[in-house]
Amino acid sequence: MTDFPKNKYGNPYDDNPYLNNEQSTVIKEIPNSGIKVGYEWGNKDPWVVFIDYKNNKKWPRDVAYFEYIKKLSNKYSKNKFMHDFLLVYTNTSKEIDEDILNKMIDTISSHYPSKDSKNVNYLLTVLYLAMVAEFHYVSKIGNPSIVNNTVKLIGIWQILFEDYSSYDASKWSYGKNPKKEILPKFNDVINELKDRGFNI
């Protein structure tokens, strides 16, 4: 078991090197939007994703961006959004890659009409930072995550291809056993994606 530091409540956490001992830090400013996205300390760990627009800070939730993904997929097709998401997903690791954060996400979003481009950039940025954070999840007993960013892929698959509501998809993993339930579902999703011709 890794010897993680503990927060004020006695819960273990993984350090966030991007905070530089600050309470919060901006990781990216979304072009032409005024939106800033970054990490900050939450009640459990220093990997909480926040958005800031004109000094109005909010904390994005799965159910909210799942709902927006549904709207995008209805407008541009389910396959298009899944293809674009997979470009980011398959290149995500426990460290932020500036080429993904800026070049890749900016390029993907530029392929959408201007009225949606900045929103897609914002959405993919939030998803990317949230997935990086998921590599640093630590349980209350000090075990690092074994599912990492797989839950995001499962959720997006469920809302696009299994007709889950945004709410149900956002809650699906709660209370589930990682080895016996989450990872087998992840493998099923990977096989389904391959059968549909996605490169993963």
The structure tokens 């990872």 sit at: 183
Chain segment 150-192, per-residue pLDDT in tens: 999 999 999 999 999 999 999 999 999 999 999 999 999 999 9
Count up the domains in the chain and report the number.
1
**Mean pLDDT across the stretch 99-123?**
96
Give the type of residue at 62.
D
Does 176 map to a domain?
yes
191 found inside a domain: yes
0.75 cut: is pTM over it? yes
In a domain, 162, yes or no: yes
Residue 86: inside a domain = yes
For the cut 80, the answer to whether the pLDDT of residue 108 exceeds it is: yes
SS3 category, 31: coil
Degrees to nearest 5, angle at CA 46 with 62 and 187: 45
pLDDT beyond 80 at 47? yes
Report yes or no on 151 lying in a domain: yes
Show the domain range for 97: 61-195
Q: Tell me if 56 is assigned to some domain.
A: no
Does residue 44 form part of some domain? no
In a domain, 103, yes or no: yes
Among candidates 92, 90, 124, which has minimal Cα distance to 199? 90
